[in-house]
Structure 1
Amino acid sequence: MNENKQKVGLGQEVASLVKTNIRDYMMYIALVVIMVFFAIKTNGGFLQARNIANLINQAGYVAVMSIGMTLILILSHIDLSVGYVAGFSGSVAAILMTKYHMNEWLAILIVLGLGLLIGLYQGILVTNVGVPAFVTTLAGMFIFRGLLNLSLQKTGTIIIPNKGFNELSNGFIPDITTKGDLHYLTLIIGGLLVLAMIYTEIKTRKNKVKYDFEVPSMPIFIFKLIALSVIIMVVIWTLASYQGIPWTAVIVSVVLIIYNYMLNKTRLGRAIYGIGGNAQAAELSGINVKRVTLFAFCSVSLMAALGGILYTSRLQSATPTAGAGFELDAVASCYIGGVAVSGGVGRVTNTIIGTLVIMSLTNGMNLMGIDIAYQYIVKGLIFVIAVAFDVRNRKK
């Protein structure tokens, strides 16, 4: 009798958790469904170690731009210029390294500084001049597209010979030994990630219990830890059986950790959510709305510049077409990842899942040889469904 009650109790708790967090769970379910579908359609090719590493490298530039875009969308603004800011930044990096023979790391620092200046320019137009973000960044899209074409007008595509630069989106972390078929440093990092995840989850649970917040029952909590540990180690084992963890994954992880900490653990993060929820109330409570908004525009342009570096590194060249449609993938990743259309809600960790959804669709359809026209249609439909689901769910 007690066992039946426990089973019923666990069943009800699981149903309640799913109902309460349906938006987040649907995102993960969608990612799993997409991966299983393409794994079947490609006879397992989609889940091969080589393709998983390729997917990570392909998704890197969109991931960092999406993280920056998350802040802008939480504030109820938008930045349509990120695509061509990324393309122009990549062309500047290529010119500095090839024409002026500049060290790649110095060139990267200069390009990141350029991204900050672009964000400062657009942020001042929005906050001080009062030009709407949509108009400012739409103008920026035209301006930086023109600058991209001008910068490559005489040379056309620029091939980048710098090995260190090209390794950013094509290389892998070194191993501690050359013996064996596995990448042992990747396995060690995977084990440390599992331990860090378990420690963080236990600490978070204790803090919630301490302040009388509702937490899942112990069986569900343990199941969650086991499930997350298995997922992490499956991905790690897959990468370790190839060449290890790509440098792209390291860069995206560092950016993700910084932004996640900033949004969840700092006064600035609370101010961003507060402004997104109600800008007038935030202003009355003493938050400097203009300064926070300016920071967000500098941030998104910085991430666009980093995205441009990763994309250019991936191609090992700067091209006049770089940047086309990047902003659409970034915005779609954010909304699929749960950023509210009305602002005030969103998490960068979920944005990364949204990025994986978008890029998994692209990668899988490319493997299947689906025409690019149909790829746009499918991604558009997924985008609309995700936003419609979010709007309906929040109304309920």
Structure 2
Amino acid sequence: MTSVAPSNADLAVDPVPAGGGPEAPRRLRLNVRQSGIYFAFAAIVVLFTILTGGDLLAPQNISNIVVQNSYILILAIGMILVIIAGHIDLSVGSIVAASGAFAAVMMVNHGWPWPVALIATLIIGGLIGAWQGYWVAYFGIPAFIVTLAGMLLFRAVTLTVLGNRGIGPFPDQVRTLANGFSEGYLGNIGLGPLGGADLLSLLVGVVAVGAIAVTQWRARSARLRYEQQVEALPVFVAKIALAALVIMFVVIQLARFKNLPWVLVLLAALVIGYSLLTNRAVFGRQIYAVGGNLQAATLSGVKVKSVIFWIFVNMGVLAALAGIIFAGRLNQANPTAGDQFELDAIAAAFIGGAAVQGGVGKVVGAITGGLIMGVINNGMSLIGAQTESVMFVKGAVLLAAVAFDVWTKRRAGAAR
């Protein structure tokens, strides 16, 4: 199997010339397309921090942002894979509602043990994804049409299952997964003017920072072995230090409130797993190949139909998981659950750097895009903005993100 060389870093300098000659002057360059989303996120956070008088970054509010947007972030992970492959899924909001309805019927009406009902709901989500994936991959119907039909079909299924009424309450374990927090297993320690925080949560943050540093160092070393461009060492260290500062700030704020939300632990596991899938696994590379150049992927031996089929199965499973989280948070399966969730998930993927034509996107970018939407919602709520103002700003941000993607592509094409 041929090894795939790592991609260029966001910040790069001109490489050292081959042949052992003197080192060329190093010129720092910024990949605007890949790094712009993170600068935009930082700018939005700073803006709303100022407008809210610091309330945006209060411990309880940071926890609220994570918990309240968890299901959208889960959907965004699946949606980014669908969009990378060159497709779209308009049905995820209805699948969220249907999954919550099925879970409620099993747990509440029929008394199934919650782990069994949870697994059964995920299987149902996978079957729904397989149904849609079959029509797209093997029958050749455009995903837009299939999932638009699915949006109507599964909303009708939800209304039928629930009888146009809510079902609840859910078992304590499901509510804890959606709204609960980890215990202070190692005790509370003092942080001076910041107050106290759970030691275990802080250790989790330290481990996360260490893992990021090691991973990035190994990636940088790999690029050097492939004689690719890499950032200067001071720049690399500054990036890691900045990431560590952000992570530890968020962890400390969460630890000061009620420790780490369990849904954040679930999200972290999903982000790590899907990042490894897209960056390291053969299937992940095949997704990019299918979205980047379908004909070339076919000629290269990629089983295109199988890849498309399985990304829709995966989307169905993640939508079912998001449905369980959302129903657990409300403590009720509701006929109107998941309304417009598909729009938020699609917006998160595109704001996070996905290309309209497919073949481009990152899981971390989709999570960042989802957090941007969440910060906008939360920040404008804190300043008392009207609903129409929130919708206007979100729409403008989405349009700006896609326009920025198109502009960078044209600029890159003109440079060639």
TM-score band by shorter chain is over 0.9
- 2:168 is the alignment partner of 1:146: no
Amino acid at match of 1:218: L
Consecutive unaligned residues in structure 2, runs of 5 or more: 1-22, 190-195, 412-416
Query: Residue by residue, what CA displacement relative to the aligned partner does 1:56-99 show, whole Å, maximum 9, x if unpaired?
Result: 01111011111101111111111100011011101111121110
Deviation at 1:179, TM superposition (A): 4.5
Deviation at 1:301, TM superposition (A): 1.0
Amino acid at match of 2:223: K
Q: Which residue matches 1:261?
A: 276
**Partner Cα distance (2:211, 2:219) in 1:** 12
1:66 to 69, 76, 94: 76
Query: Residue by residue, what CA displacement relative to the aligned partner does 1:92-135 show, whole Å, maximum 9, x if unpaired?
Result: 11121110111112111111000100011111111222211111
**Partner Cα distance (2:33, 2:178) in 1:** 32
Amino acid at match of 1:358: M
Query: Residue by residue, what CA displacement relative to the aligned partner does 1:198-220 show, whole Å, maximum 9, x if unpaired?
Result: 11111111111122111111111
**Partner Cα distance (1:175, 1:123) in 2:** 44
Q: Which residue matches 1:102?
A: 112
Q: Which residue matches 2:391?
A: 376
- 2:172 is the alignment partner of 1:157: no
TM value normalised by structure 2: 0.89
C-alpha contact 2:187 2:199 (8 A) present in aligned 1: no
Query: Residue by residue, what CA displacement relative to the aligned partner does 1:162-197 show, whole Å, maximum 9, x if unpaired?
Result: 110001121112222344531111001111111111
Query: Residue by residue, what CA displacement relative to the aligned partner does 1:129-175 show, whole Å, maximum 9, x if unpaired?
Result: 22111110000000011111122226x12232411000112111222
Amino acid at match of 2:171: N
Amino acid at match of 1:376: M
Deviation at 1:25, TM superposition (A): 2.3
**Partner Cα distance (1:223, 1:161) in 2:** 46
Q: Which residue matches 1:33?
A: 43
Query: Residue by residue, what CA displacement relative to the aligned partner does 1:255-299 show, whole Å, maximum 9, x if unpaired?
Result: 111111111111111111111111111111111100000001101
Deviation at 1:339, TM superposition (A): 0.6
- 2:381 is the alignment partner of 1:366: yes
TM value normalised by structure 1: 0.93
C-alpha contact 1:183 1:242 (8 A) present in aligned 2: no
Amino acid at match of 1:285: S
Amino acid at match of 1:210: R
Q: Which residue matches 2:56?
A: 46
1:225-264 maps to which residues of 2 (within 5 A)? Answer: 225-264=240-279
Q: Which residue matches 1:356?
A: 371
**Partner Cα distance (2:333, 2:94) in 1:** 12
Deviation at 1:329, TM superposition (A): 0.4
Amino acid at match of 1:37: L
Amino acid at match of 1:363: N
- 2:175 is the alignment partner of 1:166: yes
**Greater fraction of residues in helix:** 1
Secondary structure, counterpart of 1:182 in structure 2: strand
Q: Which residue matches 1:309?
A: 324
Deviation at 1:327, TM superposition (A): 0.3
**Partner Cα distance (1:388, 1:239) in 2:** 35
**Partner Cα distance (1:174, 1:379) in 2:** 36
Amino acid at match of 2:68: Q
Amino acid at match of 1:90: G
Deviation at 1:353, TM superposition (A): 0.4
C-alpha contact 2:188 2:199 (8 A) present in aligned 1: no
Q: Which residue matches 1:6?
A: none
Deviation at 1:12, TM superposition (A): 7.5
**% identical equivalent positions:** 38
**Partner Cα distance (2:51, 2:322) in 1:** 30
- Give the 4+ runs in structure 1 shifted more than 6 A: none
Query: Residue by residue, what CA displacement relative to the aligned partner does 1:203-262 show, whole Å, maximum 9, x if unpaired?
Result: 111111122111111111111121111111111111111111111111111111111111
**Partner Cα distance (1:241, 1:213) in 2:** 43
**Partner Cα distance (1:222, 1:41) in 2:** 32
Deviation at 1:368, TM superposition (A): 2.1
Q: CA RMSD in A?
A: 1.6
C-alpha contact 1:34 1:357 (8 A) present in aligned 2: yes
Secondary structure, counterpart of 1:340 in structure 2: coil
Consecutive unaligned residues in structure 1, runs of 5 or more: 1-8
Deviation at 1:23, TM superposition (A): 2.0
**Partner Cα distance (1:268, 1:25) in 2:** 25
Amino acid at match of 1:333: A
Deviation at 1:373, TM superposition (A): 2.0
Amino acid at match of 1:104: W
Q: Which residue matches 2:229?
A: 214
Paired residues, number: 382
Which one is further off, 34-43 or 228-237?
34-43
- 2:111 is the alignment partner of 1:111: no
C-alpha contact 2:186 2:199 (8 A) present in aligned 1: yes
